[in-house]
Amino acid sequence: MHTSRPVAASDRLKQLPKAEVHLHLEGCFEAAQIADWARLQGVTLPRPQSELFQFSGLADFLDFLDLACGLACTPARLAELSYGVCQRLADNGTGYADVIFNPTHWHAWHGRLEAMLDAMDAGCKEAEQDGLPSIGLCVSLLRTQSADAAAELVDRLCTLRHPRVVALSVDGNEASAGRTGPRFADAFRRAADAGLRRTVHAGESSGPEGVWDALNCLGADRIDHGVRAIEDAALVEVLAQRQIPLGVCPTSNLVLGVYPTIQDHPIEKLRAAGVAVSLNTDDPALLGTSLVGEYALCRRAFGWNDAITAALARTSIASSFANADTKAKLLAALALWQTAG
Ligand code: ADE
Ligand code: ZN
């Protein structure tokens, strides 16, 4: 007689075909890797390795990115880091990811964007050859940059037309930068004209006004976080009606102090209001997140069943900037996952 053994809940979530759309390369350093590279560079770390990833909030966290990225000063280290992202995706059963990287954090590479993209691309290609998932890069502005710096980055991207780059992004701390949507409007318009997609951090360190600007000034195809849209009913209605996807990162929002507990997190309210939400890790190594963990957390906290879980996975795939072939394959596999449930 054939008896099939029940699949453990975490295995079933690992098997769930899904994409990730909000994940920073800057957030993928392992503590041991930072300690190693710091020793080789003669750099003193601000605290012991065991406490390295203890952050007091978003500002402190962003400062730390400069230190970590400053250590990735050779093509080999950048390729190693990129390969590690692909390995992390495979470990979570993630079929594809849009990966954000922000050139301002990587001091050793300033003025050498092409070399930097090539080093990342080399790590990604090696991963693909080893059968690991593929990624697209979203090159990011920092909220505190000037309009001129934004124009310069878009000029470079338009000249290079690097095949690994899928989007222009903006991240960083809106609380300290203030309102900057209008400042970047021109750069985002030109990026779209050049065939790049647009993704915008908003509604994390800004309130609903940051999300309105992402839509109205920057023409965002997708919003990173966006969760504080919940504070404005008219905005929630627009997001739902236009199906503008939000790349939500629940644990990141808890660790960086946006919400005190998962019960206070608005993802379930946004989902129930018809907003297209996906689950993501933001900065997985630094914040201690995994994609399987995010799905498990929300299923526990909000009682999501397999149909809801699959709907979120479908949003993650559909809202990614993967090519049509990758999307079709993942969506077909997702349909099978549901019938095997
Ligand atoms: N860069 C890396 N992680 C970020 C976050 N959560 N918010 C803004 N910028 C970031
Ligand atoms: Zn982010």
Q: From ligand 2's centre to the CA of 1, what distance in Å?
A: 50
Nearest atom (ligand 1) to Cα of 249: 6
Residue 53 structural domain: 16-340
Q: CA dist 294 to 139, 282, 289, Å?
A: 25, 11, 7
* Position 11 in a domain: no
* Position 295 in a domain: yes
Q: CA dist 255 to 56, 173, 288, 338, Å?
A: 9, 15, 9, 32
Q: Is 31 exposed, middle or buried (0-12, 13-18, 19+ CB in 10 A)?
A: middle
Task: Check residue 1 and give its pLDDT.
Answer: 45
What gap in Å lies between CA 207 and CA 212, rounded to an integer? 9
Task: Check residue 3 and give its pLDDT.
Answer: 53
* Position 2 in a domain: no
* Position 1 in a domain: no
* Position 3 in a domain: no
Q: From ligand 2's centre to the CA of 280, what distance in Å?
A: 9
Pocket lined around ligand 1, Cβ cut-off 6 Å: 24, 26-27, 58, 171-172, 201, 204, 252, 282-283
- pLDDT digit string, tens, across residues 294-313: 999 999 999 999 999 999 99
Give me the residues of the chain with pLDDT under 70, please: 1-4
* Position 9 in a domain: no
- With beta carbons less than 8 A apart as the criterion, state whether 185 and 218 touch: yes
Tokens linked to 116: 């930097």
* Position 240 in a domain: yes
Q: How many domains, the chain? A: 1
Q: What is the CATH number of the domain that holds 32?
A: 3.20.20.140
Q: Which positions are catalytic?
A: 204
Atom 5 in ligand 1: residue holding the nearest Cα? 172
Task: Check residue 8 and give its pLDDT.
Answer: 85
* Position 4 in a domain: no
- Report the phi/psi class of residue 299: left, alpha or beta, with left for phi > 0 and alpha for psi in -120 to 50: alpha
- pTM, two decimals, is 0.96
